C-alpha cells in the first residue's frame, strides 16, 4: 500500500499533512507519540475518514478494524457480537475459544472486564472475512502472558496487518516491521514529511 501526499484535517486544522508512506505485506507496527494522528491515519486507510487530498494506492476494500475503544454492541452477548460479522456460530465459538473467552460467550459487554472486551473486539476483527487487519492498540489492558498468546493469533493471519502501538515490545512479539511517525514540522504542529519504514 502506497500513501502519497496524504492530508487530513479536522475543522480546517491539519492532523496529517502531506504524508508519504509505504506499507508492505505482513505485519507493520506504526509507532509514535500520543496525539500524533496514528488513529486518524488508520481510520483514513480504513475509509472511515475522507482525506482532504492525497492518494492511497492499494487501500483495503474490506478492512477489519479493531478500534481503540472496544465498540461492542452493548445489547448483544459476546457471541452475538461476533455473529454480527460472521453468521457461522461454530466459527464464532471457535474464535471465542481462541481468545480464551468461550465461557463468557453469553455475557453482555457490561459484564466483561476491560481485557475481556478487548479480546472480544479482537475476535470480531479476526473473524471478519477481510483483506487487511487494522488494529489500534490491540493489547491494551491485557497481561503479558495473554498478550503473547493473542499475538500468536495475529501472526497467523494471512492478510496484511497494520498495528498502531506505543510499546516497542509489541513489534518483537508480532515479528513486525516498524514505522515510527514523528512530528517533523513543529511550527505547524502537524504530522508531515516522508516516513521510511525501519525493518
Partner 1 sequence: MAQTFTSKKKLNKWLKLAIAVAFWLTVWSLASAIVDKELLIPSPVVVARRIGGLLFTGTFWLKTGVSLLRVLGGFLAGCVGGILLSVLASVWDVADAIISPFIRIIRSTPVTSFIILVMLWIGYDFVPVFIAGLLVTPIFYANLREGIDETDRKLLEVAYIYKFGKRKTLKAIYIPSVKPYFVSAAVTSLGLAWKAGIAAEVLCLPSISVGREMYYSKLYLETPDLFAWTVVVVVFSIVFEKIFERMVLKNKKKEVRDNEDN
Task: Give backbone dihedrals phi and psi of 189, rounded to 5 degrees, phi first.
Answer: 50, 45
Please report whether residue 73 would count as binding partner 1 according to CB under 8 A.
Answer: yes
Closest CA to 48 of 30, 28, 65, 27: 65
Please report whether residue 108 would count as binding partner 1 according to CB under 8 A.
Answer: yes
Q: Which residue lies nearer to partner 1 by CB, 77 or 147?
A: 77
Q: Which residue lies nearer to partner 1 by CB, 85 or 146?
A: 85
Please report, for residues 8, 13, 92, 97, 196, the alpha-carbon distance to residue 84 in angstroms, rounded to integers and kept in the order given: 31, 36, 10, 17, 38
What character string, x for contact with partner 1 (CB under 8 A) and - otherwise, covers 119-138? -----x---x----------
C-alpha cell at 23: 506499507
Q: What is the C-alpha separation between 18 and 98, in angstroms, rounded? A: 40
Which of 67, 104, 112, 118: binder of partner 1 (CB under 8 A)? 67
As measured in angstroms, the least distance from the Cβ of 75 to partner 1 is: 4
Place of cell 516522508: 194
What character string, x for contact with partner 1 (CB under 8 A) and - otherwise, covers 37-56? ---------x-x--------
Closest CA to 120 of 182, 87, 62, 76: 76
Q: Which stretch binds partner 1 (CB under 8 A): 51-59, 104-112, 142-150, 168-176?
A: 104-112
Show the 3-state SS of 103-130.
HHCCCCHHHCCHHHHHHHHHHHHHHCCC
Which of 44, 77, 147, 192: binder of partner 1 (CB under 8 A)? 77
Please report whether residue 140 would count as binding partner 1 according to CB under 8 A.
Answer: no
Please report whether residue 59 would count as binding partner 1 according to CB under 8 A.
Answer: no
Please report whether residue 157 would count as binding partner 1 according to CB under 8 A.
Answer: no
C-alpha cell at 133: 487487519
Q: What is the C-alpha separation between 69 and 137, in angstroms, rounded? A: 9
- Name the β-bridge partners of 20: 194
Please report whether residue 63 would count as binding partner 1 according to CB under 8 A.
Answer: yes
As measured in angstroms, the least distance from the Cβ of 90 to partner 1 is: 13
**Interface with partner 1 by CB under 8 A: which residues?**
46, 48, 62-65, 67, 69, 71, 73, 75-77, 79-80, 83-85, 105-106, 108, 124, 128
Amino acid at each position: 500500500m502506497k500513501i502519497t501526499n496524504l492530508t487530513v484535517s479536522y475543522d480546517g486544522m491539519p492532523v496529517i499533512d502531506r504524508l508519504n508512506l509505504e506499507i508492505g505485506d505482513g505485519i507493520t507496527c506504526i509507532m509514535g507519540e500520543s496525539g500524533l494522528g496514528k488513529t486518524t491515519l488508520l481510520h483514513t486507510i480504513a475509509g472511515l475518514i475522507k482525506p482532504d487530498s492525497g492518494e492511497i494506492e492499494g487501500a483495503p476494500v474490506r478492512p477489519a478494524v479493531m478500534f481503540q475503544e472496544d465498540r461492542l454492541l452493548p445489547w448483544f452477548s459476546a457471541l452475538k457480537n461476533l455473529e454480527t460479522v460472521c453468521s457461522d456460530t461454530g466459527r464464532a465459538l471457535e474464535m471465542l475459544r481462541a481468545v480464551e473467552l468461550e465461557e463468557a460467550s453469553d455475557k453482555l459487554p457490561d459484564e466483561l472486564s476491560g481485557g475481556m472486551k478487548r479480546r472480544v473486539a479482537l475476535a470480531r476483527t479476526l473473524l471478519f472475512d477481510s483483506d487487511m487487519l487494522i488494529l489500534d492498540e490491540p493489547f491494551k489492558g491485557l497481561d503479558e502472558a495473554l498478550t503473547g498468546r493473542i499475538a500468536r493469533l495475529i501472526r497467523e493471519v494471512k492478510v496484511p496487518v497494520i498495528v498502531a502501538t506505543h510499546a516497542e515490545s509489541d513489534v518483537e512479539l508480532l515479528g513486525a516491521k516498524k514505522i515510527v511517525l514523528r512530528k517533523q514540522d513543529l511550527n505547524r504542529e502537524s504530522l508531515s514529511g516522508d516516513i521510511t519504514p525501519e525493518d
